[in-house]
Structures are given as structure tokens and as C-alpha cells.
Amino acid sequence: MELQTLTYLVVGFTFAVYIGIAIWARAGSTSEFYVAGGGVNPVANGMATAADWMSAASFISMAGLIAFLGYGGSVFLMGWTGGYVLLALLLAPYLRKFGKFTVPEFIGDRFYSRTARIVAVLCLILASVTYVIGQMKGVGVAFSRFLEVQYEVGLLIGMAIVFVYAVLGGMKGITYTQIAQYCVLIMAYTIPAIFISLNLTGNPFPQLGLGSTMAGTDTFLLDKLDQMVVELGFDQYTTSARLSHLNMFAYTMSLMIGTAGLPHVIIRFFTVPKVSDARRSAGWALIFIAILYTTAPAVAGMARLNLMNTIEPSPGNYLAYDERPTWFSNWEQTGLLKYEDKNGDGLIQYSADNNTNEMVKIDRDIMVLANPEIARLPNWVIALVAAGGLAAALSTAAGLLLAISSAISHDLLKGILKPDISEKQELNASRVAMAGAIGVAGYLGFNPPDFAAGTVAIAFGLAASSIFPALMMGIFSKRVNKQGAVAGMIVGITVTLLYVFQHLGIMFIPGTSFLGGLEPNWFLGIEPNAFGAIGAIVNFAVAIGVSQFTEEPPKHVRDLVENIRIPSGASEAVGH
């Protein structure tokens, strides 16, 4: 069957399943809309959490980054997986025990302050909107190639699908939709990897194939890859490290604590019946996440190898542009792959030298999606990958949009502006806020500031510098008070935003560079995507310092902190 027809069938079927689940699991109360009624099975919640967590950045962009950065791309593997461990051990059980709907609600109650709750809402919205931009780019990239529509049209279709199942079902619908999306995305990621590993190494396990010898030879795959990239002038794949040690540490730390501070992941742990179930959910989620994350390095290395073998089958034997394969011309039509014949010989020369390199654009976000086509896998595998990329982007987008809408409807409207509204009015407000959030996210998705994983990394930095420290101090410190928490969040996210704006070249006054024209990465060479770790340190320092010079929290707040940390077995008698 023709690829486009097959893709329409596979993607259309998955979309029908998502919408069907949303209709079946339509939320009828605020509890169902915000936390799925609090009765989700830990295994099911672990699978939904994995889908919520493994976004377009994980599915589409991470392997693409590793493919071009090599060893240096491991920062994403370490940061994102390590951060989930932090979340599971340090935050999830305690926040579940607190028993409320949202992260700003916890911050508002713990720091006995409406101001703290409002600041937390603003920080949440900033981080979540930035994060969802990356998902929208992933949706647009997948649609633009496999459904052969313009990026903007694909983005609009994705927005419409999310609107239907997220607005209808709320957390209840999203949870069961994400279970289906996890099944789709994990099959879409691992099946092509198994095929390609078998083709290149004869080993059906990609994780082992990456360290195996090439089929029929004594040459290891990674040695072959190192040889090819060095011949083209690039750094050695297995040892290249674009970042300094300090930058690498800061980047990893920013991703880790940003992960632990992401509200759309945290609220997943509010959906299980009790505290012990939150811990079990975290364990299952780590298992489900590990399947993809241990496969990603193999997907990256094999994709880079296949790409270079296609363009230059043997040293000095370049592919003629007129004989380029179908996958090449297909991706050219999207604008994400560009060739420029600089010397007029009609051959495709690919190298690290910008003066002679004729592959003037290879968008990193296309590598996972193009990999099955480059490897000449069956059309049904290629169609499945398209459905998987869309599932990854849509699952995370839905979780982020729910976090944004619940912050607006539950924390701002119900919690502060109109505390006397009925449950039905709050539910309707939640749906309106969700629709508005989808519109804003889509608008920003038309002009994303970076590739998917880069945009997401900035979002993690914002969460790291604002929400994570407030949660940690709220759980583990009795002394930090409302003045300290508010000051810490404001200063932490402000310094991070200023650093990001400076790097992106935001001009507030024409002809004048912000912050006096400082050089990019001026603070110890740290990149903006890694600056969330510095923002978090500033947040902790300001919050603790201000708290030391102001009155300590009231006794009932100190007792609340003590109660949150009581071992879970002692609290099950009270139903938390």
C-alpha cells in the first residue's frame, strides 16, 4: 500500500481511539477533570506518566541531538532520567499526601499566602507554555512530512485533536488516552530500532547492537561511526563534548531539577488512591520510560551512520543530487532538509567545513522520523513512526495544557478571584481556560524559538529556577516563610529569563542590546539552556536569606510540614 495512504489510515485510527477514549471518559466533576477522581491504578498511572513525560523532545528530538552531538548529547539522557528519580523520591509521595489538586495550591497553603499561590501560577504558566511550544513543533514536523501538508496546517490539526480529548475528558480522559499513546509511541520507537539493529549488526536488541560489530565484519559499529565523522571533519562521535565540564554539570542539573519541578508530571501523582500508590506509580513509570531512553542512543548512532552512508556510500564517492533517494526529496519539500550545490558538480558533499558543506540544513528533529525511510524499512513501519511521534507530542501537550488550565481555573478563579463559584461553573471555566491555552500554545508554535529539545530545555530551566526550590523548601524546611518563598521564586525565574533573553538577542530598544550587549554565555560560559541550575541556587539563597530576617511561619504551618513528612504507613489510617 502507498505510504501516504497507509499513514493516513494508521494515524487516523490512533486519533479515533484517542477521541473515543475522551468521549468514554468524559469528566463530570472537577475531581475527575483535575485528578481523574483520584482512583487510577498505579500501573496504569505509571504508563500514563511515561507518556506524559516522554514528549516530542524525547521521541523526536533527543535522538536527533545525540546523533549530531555524540557523547555530548548524553546530557539529555542523564538530566531527564535523573530528574525523574528526584521527583519520585523527594516530591511525589509528599505532595500526594498533601492531597490537593495543583502545585500552586500546595505552595499557597504551605506558605500561607495568596501572593505565593499567584506567583506559583505565573511561574507554572511560563514554564508550561514554553514547554508546549516544543510539542507543537513536533506535531508540525510529523504532519508536514507524513501527511504532506504545510507545517502550519499540521499544527492546526494537532491543536484540534488535543482540543477534543483534553477539553472533553480533562485528567480522566487524558489519563486513559495517554495509556493508549504510550503503547503507540513505544512500539513506534522500538520496532524500527530492532529492524535497523538487525540490518546493521544482526543483533535484535538495539541497546546491545550499538556496541556490537557490523554485520559480516570485525569492525564495531561505533568505531565505524567514529571513522566516518572524523573523515568528514567532525569531532569523534564517542568522545566529542561540546560543553565544558561546568556547563555539562549545570545543564544536567538544570534538566534534573527542572524535571522534578514540572507541574504536569507532578499532578499525575495526585490521581492515585494513596501515598504508597504514588511511589509504585513512580517505579512503574521509570520502567516504562527506560524502554525508550535505553534505546535512544542506539537510534541516534544508527541514524547518523545511515545518513552518512546514504550521502557518501564510500570515501570520496558522493551521491549525485539527481539520483537522491525518495526520502531525501520528501524531506526537502518540508524545508527541514536543504541542499545547495556550491561547486556546481551536482554531487552532494557533506562535511564539517561550512565553505564546502552542501547539506546546508539537516534539522535535528527529522532524524528519528526519517530514520526508517533512510533504512528502507517497510511502509507500515514508517507509518507507525509517524503515529508514534504524534502520540508523544500530543500526550505531553495535553498534560501541559491541563496544568495551565487548572492553574487558571482552580488556583486563580476558584482559589482567589471567585471562591464562591459552583463546581459546575469551575468545570466550565476549566474547559474555557483549556481552550484558551491551546490557542496560545498553537500561536506560539507557529514560530518556535528553537528546535524542540532546545525549547523544552529552556522550559525546564524556568521550572528549575522557580517551582522546584519552592516545593523542596515547602516540604523539607519549617523555617522558610511566605516572604522568602515569594522572593525566591520571583528572583530565581527573573534572573533565568534575563539570561535567556540576552542570549536570544531580544532587543527592547532598537539598536541597543539588552544587558548592555554582554557576550552570549557570559556567566562562566554557561549556556541559557543550562542556566536554570544557577537560577535555582539564587532562589534557594534568596528564600532562605529573606526567611532568616523575617518572622518564622505560624505553628499550624510548621505542624503541616511535620505531618507531610510522616512515613506513609502512619498516614493511611486517615485516607491520605
Q: What is the pTM of this model?
A: 0.83
Q: Is 524 exposed, middle or buried (0-12, 13-18, 19+ CB in 10 A)?
A: exposed
Q: Which residue has the cell 518572622?
A: 551
Per-domain residue ranges for the chain? 3-24+41-303+378-574, 304-373
For the chain, 576 residues long, give each residue's pLDDT as a single digit of tens: 777 788 889 988 988 888 888 778 776 667 766 666 667 888 988 898 888 878 777 888 888 889 988 888 888 888 888 888 888 888 888 888 887 778 898 999 999 999 999 999 999 988 888 887 777 777 777 777 666 777 778 788 878 877 776 777 677 778 888 899 899 999 999 999 999 999 999 999 999 999 999 998 999 999 999 999 888 888 888 887 667 888 889 989 998 999 888 888 888 887 888 878 888 888 898 899 999 999 999 999 999 999 988 888 777 788 899 999 988 988 888 788 899 999 889 999 888 888 889 988 888 878 888 889 899 899 899 889 888 888 887 788 778 888 888 888 888 888 888 888 888 888 888 888 888 888 887 787 776 655 445 567 778 889 999 999 999 999 999 999 999 999 999 999 999 988 887 765 543 344 444 445 556 666 778 888 889 999 999 999 999 999 999 999 999 999 988 888 765 454 444 444
Q: Which residue has the cell 533504512?
A: 375
Question: DSSP alpha helices (H): ranges in 295-422?
Answer: 296-311, 326-332, 367-374, 379-406
**What is the chain's alpha carbon radius of gyration, rounded to the nearest angstrom?**
24
Residue 506 has what pLDDT?
45
Residue 270 has what pLDDT?
79
CATH topology of domain 3-24+41-303+378-574: Sodium/glucose cotransporter (1.20.1730)
Contact 193, 62 (CB under 8 A): no
Cα-based distances in Å from 237 to 227, 234, 240, 352, 369: 9, 8, 6, 13, 21
What are 338's strand-pairing partners? 361
Contact 394, 19 (CB under 8 A): no
What are the backbone dihedrals phi and psi of residue 213, each rounded to the nearest 5 degrees, phi first? -85, 155
Residue 121 has what pLDDT?
92
What are 509's strand-pairing partners? 512
Residue 574 has what pLDDT?
44
